[in-house]
Structure 1
Amino acid sequence: MEVTASRSTWPQALCDPSGQRQAKPRTKGCTMVIDKGLGQHAFADLLSTSGEYIDIVKFGFGTSPLYPLPVIRSKIELAIKHGITVIPGGTLLEAAVRLDLVPGFFRQVMTLGFTGIEVSDGTINLNRSLRSDLIRDAASLGLKVYTEYGKKLFGSRIDVDDFALTAEKDWECGAELVTVEARESGIGVGLFDEHGDCRDGDLSHILDVVPNLDRVLWEAPLKEQQVSLIKALGADVHLGNIPVQDVITLETMRRGLRSDTFNLQKVQVLDYMI
């Protein structure tokens, strides 16, 4: 076989053996990355290598106010240039609710150029009326709204029927996606047990009763969790809290370029001359 140096790209089918991945802006198979404090250079490096495969960047927890203003502005602007939605962590909004500083929260979100927010109640109790108001208020400002369901306390599990009702109301209020809580550890919270393994019974129940599964984002920071959800729901499942170093690894699994999901490949039969 003759190989010439003039070819500048990999064969298309080899880049995506599944033949299914959407280009950005994606409506299927979104990847949300959690940034826990990357500096400008590390963030730029992340986007230069993986920006094509990131749809949402969340500045985790309440980290956003701790950055020097020029740094956070630079990071937000760079993410937007790569077609990425940028949101502060839901814990920051929870703190604003607790401290009665919601107007100030929204003012600074808009000033800095964030393009979305996360509405959660993982640490506080947020009544339905206020949750709905926060979603509607953010949407009215032109922000994309990602809500989150579940508590952060170790051992917390999903009340599937309540999740279904909450998700339906969140979507009605204007939420883009509803996220299933798993924290950044993925252990002992929500869908995952104390070993980080998927609670298959809970997942099956969710699949039975929750409508619009294409509008659910599953936090799955660990590789085996990502594999389980891809196998159960397909390569186009929305996945979140992905560590920055694992973005390309996850993309290989979505495309069938890693042994764990190799069978996702759309096999083409080719004739070779012997």
Structure 2
Amino acid sequence: MELTVNLKWPAALTDPSGRRFGKPRSEGITMVIDKGLGPHAFEDLMATASDYIDILKFGFGTSPLYPAAVIRDKIELAKRKHITVIPGGTLLETAVAKDMVPAFFRHILALGFDGVEVSDGTIELPRSRRSELIRQASELGLKVFTEYGKKIFGSRIDVLDFAQTAQEDFAAGANLVTVEARESGVGVGLFDERGACREQDLTEMLKVIPNRGRVLWEAPLKEQQVALIKSVGPEVNLGNIPVQDVLALETMRRGLRSDTFELNSRSLSDYVI
């Protein structure tokens, strides 16, 4: 006689925090940066971690370097897993600099991208042009994720300018506003030259954010992810997560790792709002 074994983990062990939900998520979004995974590695990523990825970004300007068939297959597989796929913002900045924005939009649509990142981390982009790009992408049916901040080492966040930029981006049609930290997470935006979170800057920014569910924080390093989860909560939106860290981040969101084990006994009122 065969014994029937229930392989489904009890809910209290799957998510001790009781705060995580399935896709589509409006909070607790995880954006992953792909800097050149091959087809087999990408399939492995989708097989093991797709449930915990909401947005997949082909980093900076890597998209044109793939064979067309490879990138189309990767995009198609990710979309089947209900993941929004976007090219890196630097590629659109290149298109702006080369006066090739229409060609850029035509090409990403043909490849199957369903989102786009609008940024000015490397170039100067007038406010009117930024809004125009957001509206243009939205009208094409793309989800728009804007980015605030410069990629220059030592650049800081002007809290009031961030609040104004976010408000105007949302008015133009942006879905989320991302706080720049590069893929290194060191010496840019919210993080100092050692990669540590500037806690006072974070507190000031949280005061001016009208809807924290519409702000995504680039946080590629574990210590940064821990700091934001502890300050904002498991529902914080995090980006530029390395592909190998997706499951590790999800355990921290759920209180399944010692770094955030305390989440299991905290309520929403315990977090900085």
Q: What is the SS of the residue equivalent to 1:77? A: helix
Q: Which amino acid aligns with 2:175?
A: E
Q: What is the SS of the residue equivalent to 2:116? A: strand
Which residue in 1 is equivalent to 2:203? 204
TM-score by length of 2: 0.95
Which residue in 2 is equivalent to 1:178? 177
Which residue in 2 is equivalent to 1:214? 213
State how 1:107-186 maps to structure 2 within 5 Å.
107-186=106-185
Instruction: Give me the whole-angstrom Cα distance separating, in 2, the residues matched to 1:19 and 1:210.
Output: 25
Q: Which amino acid aligns with 2:106?
A: R
Which residue in 1 is equivalent to 2:269? none
Instruction: Give me the whole-angstrom Cα distance separating, in 1, the residues matched to 2:23 and 2:96.
Output: 34
RMSD: 1.0
Aligned length: 264
Instruction: Give me the whole-angstrom Cα distance separating, in 2, the residues matched to 1:160 and 1:84.
Output: 31
Q: Which runs of 4+ in 1 moved over 6 A?
A: none
Instruction: Give me the whole-angstrom Cα distance separating, in 2, the residues matched to 1:209 and 1:260.
Output: 28
**1:141-181 per-position Cα deviation (integer Å, ceiling 9, x unaligned):** 11000000000000000011000000000011111100000
Is the CA contact 1:122–1:150 (under 8 Å) kept in the aligned structure 2?
yes
Instruction: Give me the whole-angstrom Cα distance separating, in 2, the residues matched to 1:61 and 1:8.
Output: 40
Which residue in 2 is equivalent to 1:257? 256
Q: How big is the shift at 1:90?
A: 0.1
Q: Which amino acid aligns with 1:240?
A: G
Q: List alignment gaps of at least 5 residues for structure 2.
A: 267-273
Q: Which amino acid aligns with 1:34?
A: I
Q: How big is the shift at 1:266?
A: 5.1
Instruction: Give me the whole-angstrom Cα distance separating, in 1, the residues matched to 2:152 and 2:4.
Output: 56
Q: What is the SS of the residue equivalent to 1:218? A: strand
Q: What is the SS of the residue equivalent to 2:31? A: strand
Instruction: Give me the whole-angstrom Cα distance separating, in 2, the residues matched to 1:28 and 1:266.
Output: 20
Q: Which amino acid aligns with 1:203?
A: L
Q: How big is the shift at 1:210?
A: 2.3
Instruction: Give me the whole-angstrom Cα distance separating, in 2, the residues matched to 1:132 and 1:7.
Output: 52
State how 1:78-93 maps to structure 2 within 5 Å.
78-93=77-92
Instruction: Give me the whole-angstrom Cα distance separating, in 2, the residues matched to 1:147 and 1:58.
Output: 13
Q: What is the SS of the residue equivalent to 1:265? A: helix
Which residue in 2 is equivalent to 1:270? none
Instruction: Give me the whole-angstrom Cα distance separating, in 2, the residues matched to 1:20 and 1:233.
Output: 13
Which residue in 1 is equivalent to 2:270? none
Q: Which amino acid aligns with 1:91?
A: T
Is the CA contact 1:17–1:266 (under 8 Å) kept in the aligned structure 2?
no
Is the CA contact 1:22–1:28 (under 8 Å) kept in the aligned structure 2?
no
Instruction: Give me the whole-angstrom Cα distance separating, in 2, the residues matched to 1:211 and 1:11.
Output: 36
Is the CA contact 1:179–1:218 (under 8 Å) kept in the aligned structure 2?
yes
Q: List alignment gaps of at least 5 residues for structure 1.
A: 268-274
TM-score by length of 1: 0.95
Q: Which amino acid aligns with 1:26?
A: R
Q: Which amino acid aligns with 1:181?
A: E
